[in-house]
């Protein structure tokens, strides 16, 4: 009986760990797509931003994790769709602003990267974003004020 219970416990632990690993992989990919979006906005490239939003949307559509509720996931998808279809970069940046707030919350609650994630802030735009490096590369003003901002916090 003890062996049976030990075996059952082992099987349950393997299933739980596999599930957590799959969730982390999906969230890591979503974070990587987000970083691509941030980089394209910082370089003032509307078309590249649109393509990056399309990739983010594809990834978000495959995410099946318990740590993200449907409302949050739908908000991310909605923002990505707006960014993908926008005809100007200002509209893309406005949707990215909301997306960033959601992604910051997710990054604080879930492991999305093996590296430190930097929460950065632009006082001019009054908005934050995530970055995988300390150096400021501002997605809200792009090339005109690429270094405007500071590191607000770090997520390890």
**pLDDT per position as a tens digit, 23-80:** 468 899 999 999 999 999 999 999 999 999 999 999 999 887 676 888 999 999 999 9
Single pTM value for the model: 0.83
Q: 119 to each of 29, 39, 125, 134, how far by Cα in Å?
A: 18, 15, 15, 9
CA distance linking residue 105 with residue 145, whole number of Å: 26
pLDDT value at position 4? 52
Polymer length in residues for the chain: 156
Radius of gyration of the chain (CA): 18
Contact 64, 80 (CB under 8 A): no
Domains of the chain: 2-111 (1.20.120)
Q: What is the pLDDT of residues 117-137, one digit of tens each?
A: 999 999 999 999 999 999 999
pLDDT value at position 34? 98
Please give the residue that has the higher pLDDT: either 15 or 140.
140
pLDDT band at residue 5, thresholds of 50, 70 and 90? low
Mean pLDDT rounded to a whole number for the chain: 88
CA distance linking residue 120 with residue 72, whole number of Å: 21
pLDDT value at position 69? 87
């Amino acid at each position: 009986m003890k062996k049976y219970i030990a075996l059952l416990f082992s099987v349950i632990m393997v299933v739980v760990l596999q599930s957590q690993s799959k969730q982390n992989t999906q969230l890591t990919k979503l974070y990587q797509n987000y970083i691509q979006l941030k980089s394209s906005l910082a370089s003032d490239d509307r078309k590249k931003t649109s393509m990056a939003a399309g990739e983010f949307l594809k990834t978000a559509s495959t995410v099946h994790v318990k740590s993200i509720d449907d409302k949050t996931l739908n908000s991310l998808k909605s923002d990505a769709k707006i960014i993908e279809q926008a005809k100007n970069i200002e509209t893309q940046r406005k949707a990215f602003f909301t997306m960033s707030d959601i992604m910051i919350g997710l990054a604080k609650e879930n492991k999305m990267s093996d590296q430190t994630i930097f929460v950065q802030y632009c006082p001019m735009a009054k908005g934050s974003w995530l970055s995988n490096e300390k150096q400021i590369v501002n997605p809200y003003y792009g090339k005109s004020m690429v270094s405007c901002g500071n590191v607000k916090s770090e997520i390890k």
